[in-house]
Amino acid sequence: MAQNGPGDAYVEFQHVQKSYDGVSLVVKDLNLSIGKGEFLTMLGPSGSGKTTCLMMLAGFETATNGEILLDKRPINQVPPHKRGIGMVFQNYALFPHMTVGENLSFPLEVRGMGKDEREAKVKRALDMVQMGNFINRRPAQLSGGQQQRIALARALVFDPALVLMDEPLGALDKQLREHMQFEIKHLHESLGITVVYVTHDQGEALTMSDRVAVFNDGRIQQLAPPADLYERPENSFVAQFIGENNKLPGTIEELNGDKALVRLATGELIDATAVNVKEKGQKTLVSIRPERVEFKPSMMPEGAHTLDAEVIEVIYMGDILRAVLRVAGSDDFVMKMRNTLGQTKLSAGEKIKVGWHPLDARALDPM
């Protein structure tokens, strides 16, 4: 990726470590460069260190060790108000005693900007989020979605080159959240700003980002564009955290480049792509996406290994049918079928054969 090169890294974490108690590390040796104009999402379960990283970048937490560079300058000693980074908070943090206009004017006032210029900028920022008519309202008089827009406008009004967002859509309902995802993405593209976005919602991460950094246990588990992350997870944590996944435990029987033959615990053999397994005899966890599982012989590639399966139940979900199968000794193997006109209707108790393309079965570390 072009903006990944060290030359044009806009934000850089170099061996950053963070500890709150001096006993354990919340962030363990973080190295990350974010290109100018990039939309990077930090995704992970709570306690994975993603928010701590954001707070260190914003200047509200200090790194215990390591260096954070902004536009090639170290910023560890720069106080938050001198960093010029826009930030959108989880609960918006709109000042309740100020009107919308005053909220937006505040960052311009503290920068000593003249009244006319301030008014013009406030108006422009409000128009940008289609909230021009709300300039005299108080935050308490606005709905959650409107407050969200104002918070966004306030973070952008002083033209920061970098904007941090800490789970900004967490408090909104599903429909509004999806709409706002689109709007934030659109603003990012039209303004050319760099965005660092923190969320625990993988859907949000996949739809909005240029790259996603998956955090767990204080480390980045994988840093990749959304499609790579979903289709080519590099370890079991990422495979399970992103989307739904079937896991089949087994041992490597044969290893030939990135082609692996895996013997499952129940004795069957399957083909898989080796990702982070190194040698024969190693324990592995094979991961297969439910929508890549096939049960019609015509759809399976030539010579693919198949497994016997018994349908336990079929759940009707509207756009898809979700079948839970008993495969290789496990009762929670999931297969997703598109709900098309001619789709075969499976029923509970039916015996079928399932298979997949070897590229879709990824042999990963056993966690």
The contact set with other proteins (CB under 8 A) reads: 58-60, 79-87, 89-91, 93-97, 106-107, 110-111, 154-155, 158, 164
Closer residue to other proteins in complex, CB, 79/342: 79
Q: Based on CB atoms, which residue is closest to other proteins, 90 or 306?
A: 90
Q: How many residues does the chain have?
A: 367
Taking the alpha carbons of 118, 123, 129, 131 in that order, is the dihedral positive or negative? positive
Q: Closer to other proteins by CB, 93 or 304: give it.
A: 93
DSSP 57: H
Q: What are phi and psi of 86, to 5 degrees?
A: -80, 145
3-state secondary structure 123-153: HHHHHHCCCHHHCCCCHHHCCHHHHHHHHHH
Query: Least Å distance between CB 329 and other proteins?
Result: 49
Residue 72 and residue 298: Cα distance in Å, rounded? 56
Instruction: Tell me the closest approach of the beta carbon of residue 201 to other proteins, in angstroms.
Output: 20
Taking the complex as a whole, the smallest distance from the CB of residue 147 to other proteins amounts, in Å, to: 12
In one letter, which amino acid is 72? Answer: K
- Beta-sheet pairing, 362-364 with 194-199: unpaired
- Minimum separation from the CB atom of position 47 to other proteins (A): 19
Which residue in 227, 280, 212, 226 sits closest to 250, CA to CA? 280
DSSP-derived secondary structure letter, 46: T
Nearer to other proteins (CB atom), residue 152 or residue 309: 152
Residue linked to tokens 């659109």: 186
Report the residue number, 89 or 230, with the smaller CB distance to other proteins: 89
How near is the Cβ of 95 to other proteins at its closest, in Å? 6
Q: State the minimum distance, in angstroms, from the CB of residue 171 to other proteins.
A: 13
Token digits of residue 59: 């200047």
Spatial contact of 109 and 118, defined as CB atoms under 8 Å apart: yes
Write down the least CB distance from residue 111 to other proteins, Å. Answer: 6
